[in-house]
Structure 1
Amino acid sequence: MRRWMGLPVAAVMLTACVTINVYFPAAEAKEAAKEFVEKVIGDDTQPATTPAPAPKPGGQSASLGPRIDWLSLVGIGSAYAQSSPDITIKTPAIQAIQARMKGRFDGQLRAHFDSGALGFGNDGSIDVRDAAKIPLAERVGVNQAVADQNRDSAAVYREVAVANGHPEWEPQIRKVFARQWTDSARAGWWYQDAGGGWKQK
């Protein structure tokens, strides 16, 4: 009798342990950052995907009957799902910022990345690397565009964290995006390494 009375208590303890085990989904964040960044810098090419083959009738998967998830009976299954969130960038706020950043990048910034005047900083921002490469008449406009782009970038990192229910993830989101801007930089563009030195792709 005492053994059976202890089962509900054990179930509650197991569920509590799982629900607080929320981790940062780095792989999902990287995929989301890649999708966002590639859209901003203008590469809309999506790799072709091969659909998974359908299971053969009568195969091993078909012969197996329904499985009982015993852990879900005490709430562990649902708790684990809640602790493994996906990273979404499909909110109206994020997509509006993305559209602004893409328009600004194409219209005002891309040419100065090509010239080497601008580069991606190691903190997820854009930096003026060599102001001398920007024509004097354009410098004020370019500096303003860089400031606007950096403000929108910071807003994206915050919005992604908030949209996924974890505002405390903002610093990690920023790091993932910072790495992705560098990874997505085109040949000839400049970026900062971890130590702050400039390198050309």
Structure 2
Amino acid sequence: MRKLVYALVATALVALVGCVTINVYFPEAAAQKAADRFIGTVIDQGAAPAGAQTTPPPQGEGNPPPSAMLLDLLVPAAYAAQTPDIRVQTPATEAIRGRMQARFQNTLKGLLDAGAVGFTRDGLVALRDAAAVPLSQRAQANAAVADENRDRNALYREIAHANGHPEWEAQIRETFAKGWIERAHTGWYYQDASGAWKRK
């Protein structure tokens, strides 16, 4: 009799898990907020915000109800999805941030101010007008653009992986692309949705 009860309970649990569909949506608002903080520390040369998150967010206060604990045990992502947030600070992203801040201060800001470089629609930078850069400095400008794009690609990938959702990389890139353009200073160039260069 006891074996029959165990078999029925096990079958019910398998059926429950099989029927549970968990949709983890990209937390767009949280991503925009995180991107804005990160971009601000690069463009405005500030330090990481004091309230910046370095660990995953708490899953709530107090003890969750037993049904949530059981569901969390069976499908851990279900309970975590209740508090959508996005993690941007990891050792890798902090190293990238440091390189981007130094590069921005030493090279990119001048190139952006001169109109030689602009923000692309896909979250990168591009040499828009090589003639705006003296011939003796073009190799340095090209190297800065290549290094910046390598770091940006690594940043978007790292944020997606740090949040346990590598499939979010394209959405993170899109969110950051909008953020870079929104934070651009007056006179800087950016690409619109069609890829045409515009001046802010």
What is the TM-score when the length of structure 1 is the normalising length? 0.77
Residue equivalent to 1:17? 20
Residue equivalent to 1:124? 123
Aligned residues: 178
Change (3 A) 1:179 1:72: same
Residue equivalent to 2:3? none
Q: Distance in 1 between matches of 2:136 and 2:94?
A: 32
Check whether the contact 1:72–1:78 (CA below 8 A) recurs between aligned residues: no
Q: Secondary structure at the match of 2:126?
A: strand
Q: Distance in 2 between matches of 1:81 and 1:92?
A: 26
Residue equivalent to 1:41? 43
Stretches (4+) displaced over 4 A:
68-71, 76-79
Q: Secondary structure at the match of 1:191?
A: strand
> Equivalent residues in 2 for 1:114-193 (5 A)?
114-193=113-192
Check whether the contact 1:12–1:74 (CA below 8 A) recurs between aligned residues: no
Of residues 83, 91, 104, the one that matches 2:81 is 83
Check whether the contact 1:115–1:133 (CA below 8 A) recurs between aligned residues: yes
Deviation of 1:9 after TM superposition, in Å, equals 3.8
Deviation of 1:196 after TM superposition, in Å, equals 0.4
1:107 pairs with 2:109: no
What is the TM-score when the length of structure 2 is the normalising length? 0.77
Structure 1: state its 5+ residue gaps. 50-65
The percent of aligned pairs where both chains have the same amino acid is 45
Of residues 46, 68, 71, the one that matches 1:72 is 68
Structure 2: state its 5+ residue gaps. 1-7, 52-61
Q: Distance in 2 between matches of 1:115 and 1:179?
A: 21
Kindly provide the CA deviation profile for residues 21-47 of structure 1, in whole angstroms up to 9, marking residues without a partner as x.
Answer: 111111111111111111111253999
Check whether the contact 1:157–1:174 (CA below 8 A) recurs between aligned residues: yes
Q: Distance in 2 between matches of 1:169 and 1:119?
A: 25
Q: Distance in 2 between matches of 1:145 and 1:46?
A: 23
Q: Distance in 1 between matches of 2:158 and 2:42?
A: 16
Q: Distance in 2 between matches of 1:46 and 1:94?
A: 11
